[in-house]
A and B are shown apart, each in its own frame.
Chain A
Amino acid sequence: MGHIELSPTVAFSRRTVLKTSLVAGGGLMLGLRLPGLARGAEAAAVFVPNAFVKIEPSGTITLIMPNAEVGQGIFTSAAMLLAEELEVGLDQVQLQAAPPDLLRYTDPSLGDQATGGSASIRGDWMRLRQAGATARVMLITAAAKQWKVDPASCHAEHGAVLHTPTGRSLPYGAVAAAAATLPVPTDVPLKAPADFKLIGTNAKRLDTPSKVNGTAIYGIDAKLPGMKIGTVAISPVNGGKLASMNEAAARAIPGVRDVLKLDDIAVAVIGDHMWAAKQGLERLAVVWEGGPNRAVTTGSIIAAMDKASQSSGVVAKKEGDAEGAIKAAATSLSAIYELPFLSHAPMEPVNCLLHVRADGAEVWVGTQVPVRAQNAVAKMTGLKPETIVINNLYCGAAFGRRLDIDSIEIAAGFAKQVAYPVKLIWTREEDTQHDYYRPYYYDRVAAGLDSSGKLMGWTHRVTGSSVMARWAPSAFKNGLDPDAVEGAADTPYEVPATLVDYVRAEPEGLNTGWWRGVGPTHNVFVVESFVDELAAAAKQDPVAFRRAMLQKNPRALAVLSLAAEKAGWGTALPSGHGRGVEVQFAFGTYIATVMEVEVTRQGEILPRRAVVAVDCGTVVNPDTVRAQIEGGMILGLGTALYNEITLANGRVEQSNFHDYRTLRMNEAPKIEVYPIRNNEKPGGIGETGTVAAAPSLGNAIFAATGRRLRRLPFGNQLQAS
């Protein structure tokens, strides 16, 4: 077997070692040392003005990508931000995934080197343009020095410095060494939007060519000489222990090399190939003891949440006397909404290739959190983090799954037991049954309308697990999880009196984690469904009812009006069809969706058309915005229709795509995306379509049938039994 082959378009860091060194001029310079690259004089000739740009004398221009490419197109958009100010063409650059380094790559809005929360563009918008501009100014200065001309008489274009009066030009590579000796300027001015050449264009994605010919390297594709491949089995009941296994039977399979245990919570069979490992694991006939969670069922978890939700929680938002307003209202409504546990089920099952040596380790993995990955390997191996190299590869999607490092920890726990490099691959079944699941939410909402149908008071109690308390404890303050109430405590509507509170209720028997759309995927479903219920109670049109509460929110109003217009809101539909609307403000982006659904007489729910209006402020790549909304919507629809993780005897009951369904080609509705362009700050986009799916679908089902579904997934709830 060969070594790692890098994709032709996107080269990743190989054995990248970061060194900081004080250079002449007092600036702190980031030096990247690559294998085979000479140290000393030649290394100093590489121009690395900051954490994101590297230009070699050979002319190679490398842009360092602070975020993981999980399918959202961030490598291209981030490259566009850098290239815009650096004045290089996207065809002139190589991309490299950032190594773990909190100092340089912490996302400004997440406070961690992480890819999530639709935060990347918002975090990169200033820092990457600044990095590009700073480098450009230094390259121009270096060229001007060489020419002995005024830098102001020079400009940069397509990877070269030009002296306009004389027509001379120098490619960046030619001035890289000189630029590397210059002090790094601060406060470099950025381009005005009117001057953008790349930002705002439908630039072609840079990762795509390698993804249509099989050359792109995902974590699962990494190879090393002498590598073995293993697959794992983890106790099916959280907290269960290994009782027995038949090691001899597993070793009898040709190609099986090792049978490993990890603290009685997991076993792995390692072989020459995955087939040997899989066969060996089956033959291993592992028996588990259930442990304390062996009796947990989804029912027992929901019962506990119902009980917890009956006491008041930590206040997230209080304006006016909402409970009093509801009591005094002409009409009052209350409802319970429930959202299930969800698995992420990215197409690429979790996996990790490690080579653990006495003096360090090298790791090949697709992760949304490289520093956490590095620390996880350090924790499991006892090695110092700085001796652990993390090579972050393409992720075959993530949806939040790769924000947790459980699989990397387990893989490291096995890899440290063997001398050879080993790639651990979870089967789909193992991946589905040992996820960090989107929490179950059990929400109580109530509201009161006055006699004219105006909303007077609104209460919303969220009950559920706090992912934040585990994942980022410092953001969990005074018992309040800001994510659990995101989209509930900050609706786009104007309401006279509001009370939103949060009851933390941790489920027994499973772990919870981030799932695409996080808080808003949960809360916008509850809020927008209940607003629809209120519109019906007020006998008002759902769009008109919302408009009345959005009079002070022009951007929300604009997307709502645009979506309603484009969808033909109010025009006739065939019988059995219905339109539902939702409005959301999440991740800094305004979206309104009109969903059209057909519900058959037998109760099948068939989404037919989704019309989405979006205002995400300044747009870096409009086509990527469209793609993310289309794809996010389809993931959201499939999830809303079909997906729930359930437990029986403490075990997850679902295992693979035959019982954890995904929307398929012949179910996908038409999706139309209508952007509103402006120069507002950029908003996040990666999760917005997923957020929009369930509420718009639920409201469309109500419009089609008069049935209000308050529990996800909608699935067969309309089918006569």
Chain B
Amino acid sequence: MLRGLLLASTLLLAIPLAARADDSIVGKGEYLVRAADCVSCHTVPGGHLFAGGRAFVLPGMGTLYSSNITPDPKTGIGGYNDDDWVRMLWTGVARGGKHLYPAMPYASYTKLSRDDALAIKAYLFTLKPIEYTPPANAMKFPFNQRWGMVAWNLINVSDKRFEPDTTKSAAWNRGAYLVEALGHCGECHTPRNFMQALKSDKAYAGAKQQGWLAYNISGDKNAGIGGWTDAQLAEYLSTGKAPGRGPASGPMAEAVEYSLRYLTKDDVAAMVTYLRDRPAQPDGPPAVPATVAAAAAPDPMGAHLFNQACAGCHLPTGAGRQSPWAALGGAHTAGDVTGTNLVQVLAHGTQIETDQGLMFMHSFTGGYTDRELSFIANYTIGQMSGRQGQVTPQQIGAARGPDDHKPTDPPPQVVGMR
């Protein structure tokens, strides 16, 4: 599993971004593809970039696979003309009239300008065409009825471009465009209603996605990012960690690695300006002060195990040993007493490619029992937030899955980047 991930990240590094950081439409398109983080969803770990095939398990509904967005005419987007392409991004209706599932964030991309949409296409059309058909979606009835999307779109997708708010600064508006349209942050951070549409009245209040909690990033001082400084937010977005806020992990680490860290300073500052201004939502685990009095009587077994397995990188105090990405002080994850993300990190590991190379943590399920990992999780929560962790061995077992540490043959289509 980890080897696959490592492979994916090294392949991703191979995208020759810097070579084309120019004002051409392709250069602009490449930047936008980064900002929209297309690669994250449209690449299977270890597979061809942008060739699709990554699985998205939607509990109760089935499994979706991302599509091939290389310009292969048969299996990719090679057959799209400009109008087809723009219509697809704005309305979720693919070439030939097929309705996309909203796992493709067209509800956000509908805000893109036509110029930007076409710049994205122009860049994607410079990629090497890969002939690869991702697995067929496996959605259950009634979700396998794509016509259902017509009604869903009518209710949930406005089909309206981004309109600047003239009462706000240019930076605010640029930030809004990056956050709402390109970055589609709300797709993870905003809870969904019964129709799986984003709840607009709960924007950025935090939501659970694919087993991970995308934290509350509203302006709330306690539950959201209201207590963060601008510098912390900017550093977190650009590098995946901030002093006193801990590291990004899981899907957020991916978002930083594949997308956010490539944005210009000005764009990151613009995002910070806009995010700061989101109405406060009180939901989710409260933020964690950077330094706290650790739990009065830490569980000795947790300490025992933490010192063995974790202190090598994190230090017994959690302050981090050699890398700022290992510093856990103030991490939201360490203050969530349910341990949602902590369990994911322990069970599946996490990694982020940085300007200092790959920072990674292994899954620990191969050598440690569910009970031991629950001790480690609760000890971490107690030490880092002073709160009483509630992680159970059953949670670890569920995250571990029956076969999660069994290596499997790599996907057959693995070949390097062009």
Residues in A lying within 8 Å of B, measured CB to CB: 236, 244, 246, 248-249, 279, 282-283, 285, 287, 290, 294, 600, 602-604, 642, 648-649, 651, 653-661, 664, 666-667, 715-716, 719, 721
Residues of A within 8 A of B309 (CB): 658
Assess A244 versus B409: contact at CB under 8 Å? Given A604-B301, A715-B369, A716-B369: no
Please give the distance in Å from B110's CB to the nearest CB on chain A.
37
User: From residue 330 to 382 of chain B, which have CB atoms closer than 8 A to chain A?
Assistant: 362, 364, 366-372
Pairwise interchain contact B415-A246, C-beta atoms closer than 8 A: yes
Residue in B10, B362, B370, B417 whose CB lies within 8 Å of A658: B362
Please give the distance in Å from B232's CB to the nearest CB on chain A.
31
Residues of A within 8 A of B364 (CB): 658-659
B74 at the interface (CB under 8 A from A): no
Residues of B within 8 A of A658 (CB): 309, 362, 364, 366-367
A656 to B307, CA, bound (A): 17
Residue in B7, B371, B409 whose CB lies within 8 Å of A716: B371
A sample of 16 cross-chain residue pairs with beta-carbon separation below 8 angstroms, ordered by A number, consists of A236-B407, A246-B415, A282-B7, A285-B415, A600-B301, A602-B301, A603-B371, A604-B301, A649-B409, A656-B362, A657-B367, A658-B309, A658-B364, A659-B367, A661-B368, A664-B307
Query: 0/1 per residue, B70-88, Cβ < 8 Å to A?
Result: 0000000000000000000
User: From residue 382 to 418 of chain B, which have CB atoms closer than 8 A to chain A?
Assistant: 393, 397, 403, 405-410, 412, 414-417
Pairwise interchain contact B308-A666, C-beta atoms closer than 8 A: yes
Nearest to A294 among chain B residues (CB) is: B409
Residue in B11, B308, B369 whose CB lies within 8 Å of A719: B369
Q: A249-B417, A285-B416 are in contact. List 9 more A-B contacts (CB 8 A).
A: A282-B6, A282-B7, A283-B10, A285-B7, A648-B407, A651-B407, A653-B407, A719-B369, A721-B393
Pairwise interchain contact A719-B407, C-beta atoms closer than 8 A: no
Residue in A236, A287, A603, A649 whose CB lies within 8 Å of B406: A649
Please give the distance in Å from B362's CB to the nearest CB on chain A.
5
Assess A653 versus B405: contact at CB under 8 Å? Given A664-B308, A666-B304: yes
Pairwise interchain contact B14-A249, C-beta atoms closer than 8 A: yes
Of B6, B367, B406, B415, the most chain A CB neighbours within 10 A belong to: B367
A249 to B11, CA, bound (A): 9
Nearest to B7 among chain A residues (CB) is: A285
Pairwise interchain contact A659-B366, C-beta atoms closer than 8 A: yes
Residues of B within 8 A of A653 (CB): 366, 405-407
Please give the distance in Å from A700's CB to the nearest CB on chain B.
19
Assess A246 versus B367: contact at CB under 8 Å? Given A285-B7, A649-B408, A649-B409: no
A716 to B372, CA, bound (A): 9
Please give the distance in Å from A545's CB to the nearest CB on chain B.
34
Nearest to B407 among chain A residues (CB) is: A651
Residues of A within 8 A of B308 (CB): 664, 666-667
A632 to B409, CA, bound (A): 37
A602 to B397, CA, bound (A): 16
Residue in B11, B14, B405, B410 whose CB lies within 8 Å of A659: B405
Please give the distance in Å from B348's CB to the nearest CB on chain A.
13
Pairwise interchain contact B405-A719, C-beta atoms closer than 8 A: no
Residues of A within 8 A of B409 (CB): 290, 294, 649
Query: 0/1 per residue, B85-122, Cβ < 8 Å to A?
Result: 00000000000000000000000000000000000000
Query: 0/1 per residue, B267-303, Cβ < 8 Å to A?
Result: 0000000000000000000000000000000000100
Please give the distance in Å from A172's CB to the nearest CB on chain B.
50
> A-B pairs with the 4 shortest C-beta distances?
A659-B366, A246-B416, A659-B367, A716-B369
Assess A602 versus B371: contact at CB under 8 Å? Given A246-B416, A653-B366, A654-B366: yes
Pairwise interchain contact B416-A248, C-beta atoms closer than 8 A: yes
A658 to B46, CA, bound (A): 23
Pairwise interchain contact B416-A249, C-beta atoms closer than 8 A: yes
Nearest to B416 among chain A residues (CB) is: A246
Residues in B lying within 8 Å of A, measured CB to CB: 6-7, 10-11, 14, 46, 301, 304, 307-309, 362, 364, 366-372, 393, 397, 403, 405-410, 412, 414-417
Pairwise interchain contact A642-B6, C-beta atoms closer than 8 A: no
Please give the distance in Å from A241's CB to the nearest CB on chain B.
13
Pairwise interchain contact A285-B307, C-beta atoms closer than 8 A: no
Nearest to B366 among chain A residues (CB) is: A659
Pairwise interchain contact B407-A649, C-beta atoms closer than 8 A: yes
Residues of B within 8 A of A279 (CB): 10
Nearest to B413 among chain A residues (CB) is: A287
Please give the distance in Å from A481's CB to the nearest CB on chain B.
31
Residues of B within 8 A of A287 (CB): 410, 412, 414
Nearest to A652 among chain B residues (CB) is: B407
Of B7, B304, B368, B416, the most chain A CB neighbours within 10 A belong to: B416
Residues of B within 8 A of A604 (CB): 301, 371
Please give the distance in Å from B376's CB to the nearest CB on chain A.
12
Nearest to A289 among chain B residues (CB) is: B409
Please give the distance in Å from A250's CB to the nearest CB on chain B.
9
Residues of B within 8 A of A656 (CB): 362
Of B46, B308, B370, B408, the most chain A CB neighbours within 10 A belong to: B308
Please give the distance in Å from B75's CB to the nearest CB on chain A.
21
Nearest to B370 among chain A residues (CB) is: A721
Please give the distance in Å from B146's CB to the nearest CB on chain A.
35
A661 to B414, CA, bound (A): 32
A249 to B415, CA, bound (A): 10
Please give the distance in Å from B127's CB to the nearest CB on chain A.
17
Assess A282 versus B304: contact at CB under 8 Å? Given A244-B415, A602-B371: no
A283 to B414, CA, bound (A): 12
Please give the distance in Å from A652's CB to the nearest CB on chain B.
9
Please give the distance in Å from B314's CB to the nearest CB on chain A.
13
Residues of A within 8 A of B410 (CB): 287
A586 to B212, CA, bound (A): 54
Residues of A within 8 A of B406 (CB): 648-649, 653
Residues of B within 8 A of A715 (CB): 369
Residues of A within 8 A of B6 (CB): 282
Residues of A within 8 A of B405 (CB): 653, 659
Nearest to B410 among chain A residues (CB) is: A287
Residues of B within 8 A of A236 (CB): 407
A684 to B417, CA, bound (A): 57
A653 to B405, CA, bound (A): 7
Residues of A within 8 A of B397 (CB): 721
Nearest to B371 among chain A residues (CB) is: A719
A600 to B406, CA, bound (A): 30
A246 to B415, CA, bound (A): 7
Residues of B within 8 A of A659 (CB): 362, 364, 366-367, 405
Nearest to B408 among chain A residues (CB) is: A649
Please give the distance in Å from A121's CB to the nearest CB on chain B.
35
Residues of A within 8 A of B46 (CB): 285
A246 to B7, CA, bound (A): 12
A664 to B368, CA, bound (A): 14
Nearest to B406 among chain A residues (CB) is: A648
Please give the distance in Å from B391's CB to the nearest CB on chain A.
14
Residue in A294, A661, A666, A719 whose CB lies within 8 Å of B367: A661
Of B6, B366, B369, B370, the most chain A CB neighbours within 10 A belong to: B366
Assess A666 versus B366: contact at CB under 8 Å? Given A285-B416, A649-B407: no
Pairwise interchain contact A667-B304, C-beta atoms closer than 8 A: yes
Please give the distance in Å from B5's CB to the nearest CB on chain A.
11
Nearest to A655 among chain B residues (CB) is: B366
Assess A666 versus B407: contact at CB under 8 Å? Given A246-B416, A282-B10, A719-B369: no
Residues of B within 8 A of A657 (CB): 367
Please give the distance in Å from A437's CB to the nearest CB on chain B.
17
Residues of B within 8 A of A283 (CB): 10, 416
Please give the distance in Å from B367's CB to the nearest CB on chain A.
4
Nearest to A275 among chain B residues (CB) is: B357
Pairwise interchain contact A666-B307, C-beta atoms closer than 8 A: yes
Please give the distance in Å from B412's CB to the nearest CB on chain A.
8
Please give the distance in Å from A139's CB to the nearest CB on chain B.
54
Please give the distance in Å from B357's CB to the nearest CB on chain A.
9
Of A287, A600, A642, A654, the most chain B CB neighbours within 10 A belong to: A287
Residues of A within 8 A of B369 (CB): 715-716, 719
